[in-house]
Amino acid sequence: MRIEDKVALVTGAGGSGTGRAIARRLAHGGAAVVVSDVEEEGGAATVRDIESGGGRAAFVRADVTSEPDIEEMVAFAVRTFGGLDILVNNAGGTPRPHFPDAPVEHWSRTLDLSLRGPMLAIHYALPAMRERGGGAIVNISSVAGLGYAPHSSPEYSAGKAGLARLTATLAPLGERDNVRVNCVVPNWIGTEEVLAEIAVMSPEERAEVPEELTAPEEIAELVVRLVEDESLAGRVFVWWTGEPPEPMPVVARPGN
């Protein structure tokens, strides 16, 4: 799929990290970009950034833990730019405290943000994409969802694991609706938030952090690759810091 003249929607694009880098890269490729976030100031800053480079963008305030908000952000894309071709489920986060010590409503929101929100976004995006003859969806997961090791935020890990598995199960949409769903599973990304987190770590914790972090722009380039490459559907790309992305092969057969 050529990005030029397509309409893209990126959730969590109002911060200074990965979402903004993805939105900027899609706009640079010629897409009209809907910037979705709960932070209005950050969302407006992303739009200004894109427009200053000659791109097209519009902001919609949407909380992806809210079904009405998700439905409206998709409708906003259609109203504003005439349709929807690309969806990037990037919004995420895991504020303390964590499961099982956090209140149910607190850890449930993180689980919704990581998994239910992207599922709802896909649900509402599909009809709009079908009207345009197809589309591409990229989910942003995390290595926190891989393997069997303990993690400080079980709700975040479970949600991100579910998001990667969801992606693989949706591979048949490529043939059924001409909508390709893929997933990026990054490790440490050098966003302002992550750098601030590293700064307050103990020496023991910091020793576990790689010397080089992945730049948000690197993730943005992979997202563009997955949108453009029509041979990929249902793939989960694991990106370990300092290494090229490693795709998990998917065999889309009933019963797998």
The predicted pLDDT at position 229 comes to 96
In a domain, 18, yes or no: yes
- Is 80 exceeded by the pLDDT of residue 247? no
Domain count, the chain: 1
Whether 244 is covered by a domain: the verdict is: no
Residue 45 sits in a domain whose CATH number is 3.40.50.720
Residue 254 — very low, low, confident or very high, per pLDDT cuts 50/70/90?
A: very low
- Average pLDDT, integer, range 195-202: 69
pLDDT band at residue 252 using 50, 70 and 90 as cut-offs? very low
Residue 143 placed within a domain: yes
Is residue 248 scored above 60 in pLDDT? no
Whether residue 31 lies inside any domain: the answer is yes
pLDDT tens across 107-130, in order?
999 999 999 999 999 999 999 999
Known catalytic residues are 156
Beta bridge partners of 136: 86, 180
And the tokens for 81? 């730019």
Window from 4-13, 211-220, 243-252 with minimum mean pLDDT: 243-252
Q: Is residue 40 part of a domain?
A: yes
Helices (H), the chain: 18-28, 40-52, 67-81, 104-111, 117-131, 154-169, 173-176, 192-199, 203-206, 216-228
Average of pLDDT values for 63-83? 98
The whole domain housing 165 covers 7-239
* Residue 43: partners with Cβ closer than 8 Å, 6 or more residues away: 13, 14, 35, 36, 37, 59, 60, 61
Does residue 256 belong to any structural domain of this protein? no
> Where residue 255 falls among pLDDT bands split at 50, 70, 90?
very low
In this predicted structure, the answer to whether residue 237 has a pLDDT above a threshold of 60 is: yes
